[in-house]
Amino acid sequence: MEIEFWWLLALPLFFALGWLAARIDIRQVVHESRALPRSYLSGLNFLLNEQPDKAIDAFVEAVRIDPQTIELHFALGSLFRRRGETDRAIRMHQLLVDREDLSEEQRLQALGELGQDFLKAGLLDRAEAVFMRLRGTRADDVALRYLLEIYQQEKDWAKAIEIAGFLTDHDSLHWRTDVANFHCELATQALASSRFDEVRRHVEEALAINRRCVRASLIQGDLLLAEGRDEDALEAWKRIESQDPVYLALAAQRVMDVYGRLGRIEQGHQLLRSWLERHPSLDLLDELFHWEIDKLGAKAAYDLVREELRRNPTLLGLDKLLEAALLTAPSELRGDIDMIKQLIHGHTRKVARYRCDACGFKARQFHWRCPACGGWETYPPRRTEEFDLTP
């Protein structure tokens, strides 16, 4: 292969150009590093040495010396909010919003951060005003989600329904579950004031959005009962088995009360026994257990729990068995049985809680909306022990 003569001239030229470009880059890096405030570098050093408080003080000083550090403003504001220092976060982000040299994208970001600061501080009206300013912008979807959270905290369910209609994922199961519960909240309020037409409208809306909405069926049954339509109320509550049988325990007391008023106690008793056989539930067992003690006596309640324990052995079931045994045992054995019951009861307190499927939050009381993560219907009426026994 012959080498062209001009290649020999080009090689040194290329080398010289590469060396010159490297020198320019190095000078640029040195210039930029010298331009950084010394406190900024100190802050990085504190972060590396796991001294966050000193790092924050250093970064605040860097912002004071060089107000043009926009990204540092954002970072500090978010850090203050996470630490619960909402006043400092609000001041930091408000300064950014008021600046005239921000790009449109940066201004939207600053407004979004400021709205989150107000929300974290509990200033819901100011947070709402900020997120309303973001409507119709590129941050519209973010604004809608925060507005939805605000209206849920304020329990303004009508506005929550309206805002949810603008979300892009309004066909998802999560969206249908949430909005159906907004309608159920309004239906519950209307039922308390005997506004039956309004109750019916919201229940129908909830079921149209989510046909598996157990809460809507419960409220519908309550409405029909208030109107004197006992048989229709029973049908509404029976529908829960096809929607989600986990929630049958919530209807058990209602069902037994209506059957008792109709003079068909045995039919109601058999219905609950069949529910328990098909869908084992500690809450359902508890409802049936107390009903049998009151109506049929301790021996019947004892036989019920013993049969259920053979099918589904649980500590909570054993606690019920010992409770019934105390009522039927000879007096000389009651002391020993009571001692065993107290030991078992101490353990059942740990497994008798409800648990959120989404975040794991536990509490003794059932909630339609998780108090921790805010999820709707993520907090089923199942005790912790039942979760542990589920395959």
Q: Provide block-wise average pLDDT over 10 residues at a time, the chain (391 residues).
A: 49 51 43 45 46 52 51 73 83 78 83 90 92 91 92 94 83 84 97 96 96 96 96 96 93 93 92 90 84 84 82 74 74 73 67 79 85 87 59 40
Q: What is the pLDDT of residue 157?
A: 95
The C-alpha atoms of residue 366 and residue 356 are separated, in whole angstroms, by: 10
Q: What is the pLDDT of residue 358?
A: 86
Q: Which DSSP letter does residue 3 get?
A: P
Residue 359 annotated as lining a ligand binding site = yes
Q: What is the pLDDT of residue 12?
A: 56
Q: Which tokens hold the place of 185?
A: 């909240």
pTM score, whole prediction: 0.76
Residue given tokens 């209307």 in the structure block: 190
Q: What is the pLDDT of residue 40?
A: 46
What are the angstrom distances between the C-alpha of 249 and each of 137, 238, 345? Answer: 47, 11, 22
Interacting residues of 60 by C-beta distance below 8 A, sequence separation 6+:
76
Residue 373 annotated as lining a ligand binding site = yes
Domain boundaries, the chain: 169-279
Work out whether strand 354-355 and strand 362-363 pair parallel, antiparallel, or are unpaired: antiparallel
Q: What is the pLDDT of residue 244?
A: 93
Q: Domain 169-279 carries which CATH code?
A: 1.25.40.10
Q: Which tokens hold the place of 375?
A: 């999820």
Q: What is the pLDDT of residue 263?
A: 92
Among 191, 190, 189, 146, which Cα is nearest to 164's? 146
- Compute the C-alpha angle 117/143/67, nearest 5°: 45
| Maximum distance among all Cα pairs of the chain, rounded to whole angstroms | 117
